[in-house]
Amino acid sequence: MADRREPTEHDRRIARQGRVIALVVAAAGLAALLAPWITAQAGLSVRHEMLIYLAAMGAFLWAFVAAIGLWRQRTR
């Protein structure tokens, strides 16, 4: 069997960044899916629903840029 090496601090940092990116994507997706329900329950206008969508899009964009940076960091 192959020996597994102990993860370094660099490996742990990359894993932590990957988990943060995954959480941001999940939260943004959930917010986008629930935006109509949230605004209807709170009695908010469509403008507020669009604001939730815009925030979700910003989160997706941040996650995409962060994932590319993480990928570049791993391939060095």
- At 20-70, the pLDDT tens digits run 999 999 999 999 999 999 999 999 999 999 999 999 999 999 999 999 999
Domain boundaries, the chain: 17-75
Which DSSP category does 5 fall into?
P
Cα-to-chain-centroid distance, residue 59: 6
pLDDT of residue 38: 96
pTM value is: 0.85
* Residue 1 clears pLDDT 60, i.e. is over it: no
pLDDT of residue 29: 98
User: What is the rounded distance in angstroms from the CA atom of residue 65 to the CA atom of residue 74?
Assistant: 14
Looking at per-residue pLDDT, the higher value among 7 and 68 belongs to 68
